[in-house]
Structure 1
Amino acid sequence: MAASIGNFERSNQLRELAHRLIPGGAHTYAKGDDQYPVLSPGFIAKGLGSHVWDVDGNEYIEYGMGNRAVGLGHAYPSVVDAAMRRLQLGCNFTRPADIEVECAQTFLETVTSAEMVKFCKDGSDATSGAVRLARAATGRDMIARCGDHPFFSTDDWFIGDTEMNAGIPEAVQRLTIDFQYNSIESVRALFDRFPGRIACLILEASRGDDPENNFLHEARDLCHRNGALFILDEMITGFRWHRGGAQQFYRIEPDLSCFGKALGNGFSVSALAGKREYMKLGGLEQTDSPRVFLLSTTHGAETHCLAAAIATMRIYQNEPVIEHLYNQGQALRDGIAQAAARHGLGAFVQATGRACCLTYTTLDQDGGRSQAFRTLFLQETIKRGVLMPSLVVSYTHSNEDVARTIDAIDGALGVYRQALENGVDNYLVGRPSEVVFRRFNTRAVPVRELEPAANG
């Protein structure tokens, strides 16, 4: 791995073309150029285990892991082999494939609090399916979502409740209301304010901090007393907190739950699961209630993706994946804390969250969260061969990876210290990154800013 990385010539050429062809230059907002420094890889060519290589041949230890979708490691051999074997038999047919039943059985063996499951392709499909099912089951139209949790769906019911709500009818925006995590009072207040209107609560079981004062169970009980469904979004917590999801870790049975990301180790598969009494409303057996058009996706049960999911779940069942994620995450947290202390930056840069799913904070001179300092930190760790929009480890992150990452962070912190003393603008090349959910672009990102000359 190169000690210092600075050549992004091919990436910069592709950036200019990408922005002409693709709105935002990428198909996922979190992967967009506005989320990264100017001095960063624009495009990844390949990945293996915990490492990726960009189109210019630069190698990185990687900690985004496909926005947390790759829990085992990139191109994990047994998962790829399972997908390839199925793909050679065809991936999409006129009638269901037998692997759909096998995958459902494997999922329900793994997530034991669910009774039925339906597969789809991404998290938005699953969460929006859960919301529709809750509305049908209750005959109500309002959705209460946790305002502390950043993302649930690309669909109107959620995006209408964000700053980036252009194109969402105002009538739809008014149907989603917010409560706060670990505040049972805020949940109770919504039921008091909108009696008989709320179809469901949807939240993540945790973003890192554990629920306090029995919050999850209290919120579920409030839902049931008020005739609403309790939905857990397990896109991130599933296959990280526990192989059976955070619901098994916290011993809470939701009415519905949504899984994805690490379920297929990067292959496109997600799941809506839950209690039979609700899930069957999207089936063919009930005759006493209207049919729910639940999930019907042409590609939702592609056989190679389900094969990848089965192989992935078997590994989680039989190997110490979760333990490894916790161990390596804790080693990272400890090493970063020690490095920050050496530079006198313990109050400015911290690894946060659960060890199996870390992120980090970057504060400015006044102790406020800073996009400029976050961008500088990314810039300097990228230079040192680490790509870390977060600190999410995989099963293939080795002890050597962790040690080299801490060394890279130690070097980046030296620059961070100087930037606190002399001004971040003197060390950051180009503009700072932005938050995803913003009503306006504060400035256009001129593609010419990304030309190779900017690498100097």
Structure 2
Amino acid sequence: MPSSRKGVEVGVATEDCVETEGLQLPRSRMANERLHALIPGGAHTYAKGDDQYPENLAPVISHGRGAHVWDIDGNRYIEYGSGLRSVSLGHAHPRVIEAVRRELDRGSNFVRPSIVEVEAAERFLATVPTAEMVKFAKNGSDATTAAVRLARAVTGRPRVAICGDHPFFSVDDWFIGTTPMSAGIPAATTELTVAFPYGDLAATESLLTRYQDEVACLILEPAGHSEPPPGYLAGLRELADRHGCVLIFDEMITGFRWSEAGAQGLYGVVPDLSTFGKALGNGFAVSALAGRREVMEPGGLRHSGDRVFLLSTTHGAETHSLAAAMAVQATYVEEGVTARLHALGERLAAGVRDAAAGMGVGDHIVVRGRASNLVFATLDENLQPSQEYRTLFLRRLLAGGVLAPSFVVSSALSDADIDRTVEVVAQACAVYRKALDAADPTPWLAGRPVKPVFRRLV
């Protein structure tokens, strides 16, 4: 069965774990207490925090395989948004694991570059031919911050222009200072970051004119929940050229999910710099900063100008992570993974929309985004975004064996997994309708509502 509620591989699930109304996670609850006692926030990523899930229904994971994960209470779930969109091939993908295993037996980190580093660079630049050089790191924030530092160095300008419609770029001060979680960041740092709206070339040009010769770069996700307006990305390219700033595409999400070469490969607009991560390693820690040679080279040794401290990380070129990245890229290209992600997403989106409409909540549970990167919005009786209704919806999904903070698919999902998910969504929509009719979801929450990651107070 695609979503059996009793796990036989780990622990022993109680009957309460099987009942739709009585899902209990006693072992996960205890583990969450241990996590909070030792780790600020109870997780190493805020988006994985238990505040993102209904109260007492934040499963702690034992293991995963393919499109399924098991919690330590013995429950199995169909999982979406795996690893915050990073595990796009499914957990423990055989080809990736085998590539990693081969390198582990050969050592993972040396005092000089490994031959794997140049092989990984060659593979990446063959997959993303719009770039001419690449440097690897372990996380997306290091890559985007390196891109910003490089842009400031090559332009001699202080300001960073971010797309204000996109939710996240880096954990570093230049971006986090613009969010509600800005404690500890000097105002002088935040003042150097300005924002432009997605899709509005006139507003962006106005910003560049206002800060004439001060903006080092424009940084944005090239696409998000909607397709870029016709001519928009090409227009940004022209604006950046005309105003002498660096154009940076954050392809952490769009990389591989839009095409093997990212959104830049799909839309045919070449940025000066781009950053990749998430799907690049299928869960292994690897990210990449790539770009035009003349922009990247100041971070190297073969130029006559001031040196730029671009990226220098002890673990940036661990051989097993680079081997994982090469196996991922080969799998995407040879097996047409991006097309499969789109097909699965289209099937899921159609099923969820039909289920919601059939239960009379089609205007309240809204599926958005490219088929390979679906999210959902939960709207109240006034069609306003609601954390309370999100809590209700997540609670019912969990009870039905679906772990879905988003509807972002992995290629390991089967048609049966999608069909089961749609069944569970339909059951959740029936309860959603009851709450809407009552104009009060509170009786179905069983605790506090989930909370947004970026908020000023706990």
The TM-score normalised by the length of structure 1 is 0.95
Percent of pairs with identical residues: 53
- Tell me the residue number matched to 1:65: 82
- Tell me the residue number matched to 1:390: 406
- Post-superposition offset of 1:161: 1.0
- Tell me the residue number matched to 1:148: 165
Q: Distance in 1 between matches of 2:264 and 2:230?
A: 16
Which of 142, 153, 157 is the aligned partner of 1:125? 142
Map 1:45-444 to 2 at 5 A.
45-287=62-304, 289-422=305-438, 423-441=440-458
Q: Distance in 2 between matches of 1:136 and 1:341?
A: 53
- Post-superposition offset of 1:40: 2.0
Decide whether the 8 Å contact of 1:142 with 1:177 is kept in 2: yes
Q: Distance in 1 between matches of 2:243 and 2:230?
A: 20
Decide whether the 8 Å contact of 1:4 with 1:385 is kept in 2: no
- Post-superposition offset of 1:18: 1.0
- Post-superposition offset of 1:48: 0.3
Q: Which amino acid aligns with 2:105?
A: Q
The TM-score normalised by the length of structure 2 is 0.95
Range moving further from structure 2, 165-174 or 37-46 = 37-46
Secondary structure of the 1:105 match is helix
**Count of residue pairs brought into register by the alignment:** 440
Q: CA RMSD in A?
A: 0.8
Decide whether the 8 Å contact of 1:145 with 1:177 is kept in 2: yes
Q: Distance in 2 between matches of 1:106 and 1:190?
A: 38
The structure 1 segments of at least 4 consecutive aligned residues displaced by more than 4 Å after TM superposition are none
Q: Deviations over 1:213-235 (max 9, x none)?
A: 31111112111111100000000
Decide whether the 8 Å contact of 2:161 with 2:217 is kept in 1: yes
Decide whether the 8 Å contact of 2:29 with 2:56 is kept in 1: no
Q: Which amino acid aligns with 2:69?
A: V
- Tell me the residue number matched to 1:33: 50
Q: Distance in 1 between matches of 2:333 and 2:194?
A: 38
Decide whether the 8 Å contact of 1:375 with 1:432 is kept in 2: yes
Q: Distance in 1 between matches of 2:19 and 2:209?
A: 58
- Post-superposition offset of 1:192: 1.2
Q: Deviations over 1:146-189 (max 9, x none)?
A: 00000000000000111111101110010000001001112111
- Post-superposition offset of 1:359: 0.3
Secondary structure of the 2:312 match is coil
Decide whether the 8 Å contact of 1:41 with 1:54 is kept in 2: no
Q: Distance in 2 between matches of 1:363 and 1:41?
A: 22
Decide whether the 8 Å contact of 2:152 with 2:216 is kept in 1: yes
Q: Which amino acid aligns with 1:298?
A: T
Secondary structure of the 2:260 match is coil
Range moving further from structure 2, 294-303 or 37-46 = 37-46
Decide whether the 8 Å contact of 1:39 with 1:379 is kept in 2: no
Q: Which amino acid aligns with 1:71?
A: S
Q: Distance in 2 between matches of 1:8 and 1:177?
A: 44
Secondary structure of the 1:351 match is strand
Decide whether the 8 Å contact of 1:269 with 1:309 is kept in 2: yes
Decide whether the 8 Å contact of 1:202 with 1:231 is kept in 2: yes
- Tell me the residue number matched to 1:451: none
Range moving further from structure 2, 73-82 or 35-44 = 35-44
Decide whether the 8 Å contact of 1:235 with 1:261 is kept in 2: yes
- Post-superposition offset of 1:208: 2.6
Decide whether the 8 Å contact of 1:39 with 1:429 is kept in 2: no
Decide whether the 8 Å contact of 2:104 with 2:320 is kept in 1: yes
